[in-house]
A and B are shown apart, each in its own frame.
Chain A
Amino acid sequence: MKKLIILFYFLISTAVVSTEKNLVDINDVLKNLRCLVCQGQSVADSNSDFSQTIKLVVQDQINEGKTEKQIYKFLKEKYGDWIVYNPSFNMINSILWLFPYLVFLVGGALIFLLLKKRDYR
């Protein structure tokens, strides 16, 4: 029991130490944006004129004190959902976000049933 308490202590203290910071990191934002004139590159990784412009725009937005979400919203309105690598969670996209977990649950249930069937016989 003592061991379990110690274990728990470490787990919690780790969680406390790792509280995240709230500042917007420009690199995180740029990595999440698609360079629209490139082939499969993010704005952060591209040297194109388009990316240079977007980098400046994002820097301005951060300076204005906007949050990450607000910046994405601003860019989506201008360039469409295509520019952000993280598809937003809405009615249509819920298929994308939830279907994998559905498969996971069904798979787990199948294995469970397979094992249970055997136990009854």
Chain B
Amino acid sequence: MLSNLGNIILFLNALITLSIIYISIQKIKIKDQVVSKNIYQLSLFQSTLIISSFFILVIGFVTSDFSMITVYQNSHTLKPLIYKISGTWGNHEGSLLLWLIILSLFSFLFLVYNKSRPGNFRIYTLIVQNILILGFLFFLLFNSNPFSAISPIPKEGLGLNPILQDPALAIHPPLLYLGFVGSSIYFSAAIASMLANYPGKLFAQSIKNWVLISWWFQTVGILAGSIWAYYELGWGGFWFWDPVENASLLPWFAMTALFHSLLVLEKRNLFYFWVIILCILTFILCVTGTFLVRSGILNSVHTFASDPSRGIYILFFLSFLILSSVFILFKKFQTGNYKINTNSKETYILVNNWFMIFYLITVLLGTIYPIFTEVLTNHKVSVGPPFYNTVIIPIVVLFLIFMSLGPRTKWIKDRFQDFFLLIKLLTGSILVNFFIVIFFKSYSLLSNLIIISSLFLIFSSLLDLISSLKRTNTDFSRVISHLSFGFLILFIGLNHNFSFEKDFNLKVGEKKKIDDYTVEFEDLKLENFKNYKAVVGNFKIDNNKKKLNLSLNPEIRIYQQPSTLTYEASIRTGILKDYYLTMSNIDRSDYYNIKFQKKPFMLWIWVSVILISAGGLVRLFKNENKIS
């Protein structure tokens, strides 16, 4: 029943999308500048329908309707309600439906929020956006239909991958999709701006908030994924340069470059085509990311969502997007005027873009390089953390320095005046770093440079903050984001250098002394939960010097549906550091493998990212207030 209803709605939706495209093209043909009422109604109807089809799928999951293949493959009657619901988008088909909701909803909202702008720009945007909707709708209907029926109807579902049964992972995909798919609207607007000859400055104003919204969701989505990886995957890290992590980072670089360039386009009407290229690039990277994840072409922790046949369709659609947008770009391209002074904000924003593109190319190359070597030379290589760290970190040092200098410069032209102030700041940073090295632990030369340059950024942003408090027109958003970025790099640097990790085997009742710490394996309990059993260890951590005494309880969970073992880390989060303990069984032995870690400033890494994203929100609200 639900399956039929869902299918009918999806087909109806395809018809509506086609008619929106048809009506809009007719409008363009007769040069009608008015967006008529029926377009609004159809667009609203489209969003409503796709949302209701999603709710039908949610109902299917909640009521465990195994007549639908998607529900059968990803759910189980014994699963807690929240994971039945989050299971809706925890699989390929359901997440694609979510993807379509965002495409449709953004299409409608963009139409409504830009009433003051010329009709042909809005209609072109609507056409491009609806072509995207149609492309994904066909993909959904003919390749990945969440409403496909199965017969005979199975009695019980296969269950959801246990590592996905987690609150952070319930919100991680929707957040990231809002970032990924949110970028579709400025892709459409960019194409529309070229087709409708909508001038740069006004175009910048029309999309800047949408860029900020998608950037915010992208940032927070990546954060949720990192936090999840930190406590769920049991290795104590938060970023592994895994191909799929990279796929989410690539559009983030493009978005960051984009909203910096948009400032120049809005203020000085420069870089129009560069902004257009970045708009197109961002969305293309988002679709590429989806292709990499869903096709299973790459070896990654995320391969629970892969299937080659999906890859071919996405690849086809991706090529279509790239070719058509590049074609339009070439047809419309004109060399603009680029009169800018060396020492101006414009130059520094270009510098920001220069670095962003460098990061983007490096990460993109590292991610897809193994595919090329395997196809061309039949030789498998791995490109992992050492590559990215070696190539990127030295450049980050330079980047942080430019990032400190940039915001102090004025638009159009500035003179070098606070040179001595900068020397003072630099001296301060070197001093602080010197004390860290003396009193705590020494680290490599590169780490020294990273810490010094991040301190430099922090000090100069703080100075900015103080001086801007005296003025009335304060740009808090930039100060907050830049300052927090400095802190992020500082804390990552310190965390990397002061982390401590010990790996050993213990059995119940035994003790292990590591430096000043004593780890005691007190006992082991077996506990029963609704959908899994857990072996819970009880560990006591003592440190006489620091008067530390805490107990940690890592678990080994035994899931039946599907039958899997997962290892749950036990984490004690503190202001200055986290203690992190995992245990795993060793076959045919009473011993357990214990991994004990001390991870300084973890909390502050998360807080820094939250503050970076908060800067974006501040800017968004400021923009909104200016309009009204």
Chain A residues with CB under 8 Å of chain B are 3, 6-7, 10-11, 13-15, 17-20, 26-27, 31-32, 34, 39-42, 44-45, 47, 49, 52, 80-87, 92-93, 95-97, 99-101, 103-104, 107-108, 111, 114-115, 117-119
Contacts and interface: CB of A to CB of B under 8 A. Distances in A.
A52 B584 CA distance: 11
B169 to A, nearest CB: 16
22 contacts: A3-B423, A7-B427, A10-B427, A17-B438, A18-B437, A32-B385, A34-B384, A40-B243, A40-B300, A40-B302, A45-B233, A47-B584, A85-B382, A87-B383, A92-B373, A100-B358, A101-B391, A103-B362, A104-B358, A107-B354, A111-B350, A115-B340
B235 A83 contact: no
Interface in B343-369: 347, 350-351, 354, 357-358, 361-362, 365-366, 369
B502 to A, nearest CB: 9
A104 to B, nearest CB: 5
Nearest to A80: B380
Given A40-B242, A40-B300, A115-B340, A108 B354 contact: yes
Interface residues of B, number: 65
Given A39-B301, A47-B593, A93 B381 contact: yes
A118 B430 contact: no
Contacts of B302: 40
Nearest to A49: B587
Given A15-B448, A96-B383, A107 B338 contact: no
B333 interface: no
Given A45-B235, A47-B567, A47-B584, A84 B430 contact: no
B387 A7 contact: no
B445 interface: yes
B434 A115 contact: no
A39 B338 contact: no
Contacts of B243: 40
B570 to A, nearest CB: 16
A13 B234 CA distance: 38
A101 B445 CA distance: 20
Given A10-B434, A17-B438, A111-B351, A41 B365 contact: no
Contacts of A96: 365-366, 369, 383, 387
Contact of B448 (A14, A100, A114): A14
Contacts of A93: 381
A87 B431 CA distance: 36
Contact of B380 (A7, A17, A81): A81
B382 A111 contact: no
A100 B395 CA distance: 11
B530 interface: no
Q: Which 5 A-B pairs have the closest CB atoms?
A: A85-B384, A45-B235, A86-B386, A100-B362, A82-B380
A17 B437 contact: yes
B46 to A, nearest CB: 37
B380 A40 contact: no
A50 to B, nearest CB: 12
A86 to B, nearest CB: 4
A87 B424 CA distance: 41
A100 B361 contact: yes
A83 B384 CA distance: 10
A104 B448 contact: no
B374 to A, nearest CB: 9
B256 interface: no
Nearest to A111: B350
B440 to A, nearest CB: 11
B430 to A, nearest CB: 5
B587 A34 contact: no
Nearest to A104: B358
Q: Which of B341, B354, B382, B430 has the most CB of A within 10 A?
A: B382
A2 B518 CA distance: 49
B338 A85 contact: no
Contacts of A34: 382, 384
A86 B387 contact: yes
Contact of A40 (B301, B391, B426): B301
A44 B382 contact: no
B234 A10 contact: no
